[in-house]
Amino acid sequence: MPKPYDDEMTGVKDRLLTIVAGQLGNPHGPLGKVVALLLNRGNKRAIAGAVDGAAPAAGADVADIGFGGGAGLAMLLERVGPDGVVHGIEPSPDMLARARGTYAMEVAEDRLVLAEGTLAALPLPDASLDAAITVNTIYFLDDLPAACAELDRVLRSGGTAVIGIGDPDGMARMPFTPYGFTLRPVAEVTGALTGAGFTVEQRTLPGPPFPFHLLVARKE
């Protein structure tokens, strides 16, 4: 094939994969609605594992940070019950609007509090949470230690944070990860949590398509 055609096709591929990666990091627009459904379906098992790892009690104050399609919000609302409060923190205004519609009753009852923010800058007071989960979000962080320090700041003594990530070697084989993802070794994430003062337990969910790691970080 002529080289100009090859270059053109490579450019098209790069643009498409950049769009996919951007949507995974910040779902928005009409395509974001489809991405939200895919995130809920694809991440359901990992989110359930993160909720189990966080093990919030009835009546607890908890957060799902970077909740995307919102599957984790439903799981946490069920776990903490009518006397608990779930904070949904999300950088995408479109996903926040979607959650406000889906969980309008829970928002009206003050059982669900939604706010724009990221793991690096949480719109929460110090020592306000009993537990927090964040699944498939740290790929989009520039400063992981600072984000772990934020988790430490917002958790109460005895609280638990769970960071969920796909196996880095497996993620590296996905076609979209070179386009804006930062894939960190599990040991690096564990080290950042330990450096923030957490005691960390690693749990691994087997694939397919590859293992998923849950880092259960407990604050003394």
Q: Is the pLDDT of residue 18 over 90?
A: no
**Parent domain of 52:** 12-219
Query: What is the number of domains present in the chain?
Result: 1
Answer whether residue 55 is part of any domain: yes
> In angstroms, rounded to a whole number, what is the distance separating the alpha carbons of residues 120 and 143?
8
**Percent of the chain topping pLDDT 90:** 78
Phi and psi, residue 171, nearest 5°: -60, -35
Handedness of CA 83, 88, 94, 98 (dihedral sign): negative
Claim: this prediction has a pTM higher than 0.85: yes
> In angstroms, rounded to a whole number, what is the distance separating the alpha carbons of residues 80 and 77?
6
Region of 88 please: left (phi>0), alpha (psi -120 to 50) or beta.
beta
What's the CATH number where 24 sits?
Answer: 3.40.50.150
Residue 203 gets which letter from DSSP? E
Let me know: does 162 contact 216? Beta carbons within 8 Å. Answer: yes
Answer whether residue 63 is part of any domain: yes
Answer whether residue 5 is part of any domain: no
Q: Is the pLDDT of residue 29 over 60?
A: yes
Answer whether residue 148 is part of any domain: yes
pLDDT in tens, 156-170: 999 999 999 999 999
Answer whether residue 3 is part of any domain: no
Let me know: does 128 contact 219? Beta carbons within 8 Å. Answer: no
Tokens 């790069």 label which residue? 14
pLDDT in tens, 48-91: 999 999 999 999 999 999 999 999 999 999 999 999 999 999 99
Let me know: does 51 contact 79? Beta carbons within 8 Å. Answer: yes
Answer whether residue 58 is part of any domain: yes
Answer whether residue 185 is part of any domain: yes
pLDDT at 6: 60
Phi and psi, residue 219, nearest 5°: -95, 130
Answer whether residue 1 is part of any domain: no
| pLDDT tier, 9 (very low <50, low <70, confident <90, very high otherwise) | low
